[in-house]
């Protein structure tokens, strides 16, 4: 490769652009509002936090009268895309990681949510809206870890 080709390849590798065709601020806003509404309704009518790791985790050690709503919540999460595709096509998904990396990432997220006493949905959506200092610290930690991971993966390793 010539130096000019190397420079052009480096530019393509490090530059970021927005795909304006797939830029969906209104759909994203609507999704965020629905998530907030669902979290508010769950805490208002059930007194429970919509933290996915806690909901799923407590299904593994169930309490007799605390199972039905958790199962219905998970069924709703899984079935939502099926209902969505009745009105609009699902976006295409491209995963550039190997199965091993995905499993490792899932385990790290699970361990992190256990050590952090909750996940991004519990702390980031519900905890921040309640003004929880612990959730502020957890959410800032999640975000910083995500920023660092993206920087390392995109700029140092590949």
Are the CB atoms for 135 and 124 separated by under 8 Å? yes
Letter string b/e over residues 73-96, b meaning 16 or more CB atoms within 10 A of that residue's CB: beeeeeeeeeeeeeeeeeeeeeee
| pTM listed for this prediction | 0.71
Write the pLDDT tens digit of every residue in 4-23.
554 555 555 556 677 788 78
| Cα within 13 Å of Cα(73), Cβ side | 24
Distance, CA of 111 to CA of 44 (rounded, Å): 29
Q: Which two tokens stand for residue 16?
A: 């970021």
pLDDT at 15: 66
Backbone angles phi, psi at 118, to 5 degrees: 150, 170
Computed over every residue of the chain, the mean pLDDT equals 85
pLDDT at 21: 81
* Residue 24: pLDDT band with limits 50, 70, 90: confident
pLDDT at 144: 93
Write the pLDDT tens digit of every residue in 90-139.
888 888 888 998 999 889 888 888 888 888 888 888 899 889 999 999 99
pLDDT at 112: 83
Which residue reads 């609507």 in tokens? 30
Q: Which two tokens stand for residue 132?
A: 């929880």
pLDDT at 2: 55
User: What percentage of the chain carries pLDDT values higher than 70?
Assistant: 89
CA neighbor of 23 nearest in space, from 91, 120, 97, 93: 91
Q: Which two tokens stand for residue 47?
A: 């007194």
pLDDT at 11: 53
Q: Is the pLDDT of residue 154 over 90?
A: no
Q: Is the pLDDT of residue 76 over 80?
A: yes
CA neighbor of 40 nearest in space, from 31, 32, 49: 49
């Amino acid at each position: 490769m010539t130096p000019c080709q190397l420079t052009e390849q480096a530019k393509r590798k490090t530059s970021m652009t927005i795909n304006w065709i797939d830029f969906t601020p209104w759909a994203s806003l609507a999704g965020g509002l629905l998530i907030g509404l669902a979290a508010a309704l769950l805490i208002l009518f059930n007194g429970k936090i919509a933290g996915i790791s806690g909901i799923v985790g407590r299904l593994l050690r169930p309490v007799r009268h605390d199972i039905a709503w958790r199962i219905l919540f998970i069924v709703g999460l899984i079935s939502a895309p099926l209902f969505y595709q009745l009105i609009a096509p699902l976006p295409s998904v491209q995963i550039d990681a190997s199965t091993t990396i995905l499993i490792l990432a899932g385990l790290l997220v699970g361990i992190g949510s256990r050590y952090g006493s909750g996940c991004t949905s519990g702390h980031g959506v519900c905890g921040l809206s309640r003004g929880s200092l612990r959730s502020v610290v957890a959410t800032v930690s999640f975000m910083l870890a995500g920023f660092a991971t993206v920087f390392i993966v995109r700029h140092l390793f590949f």
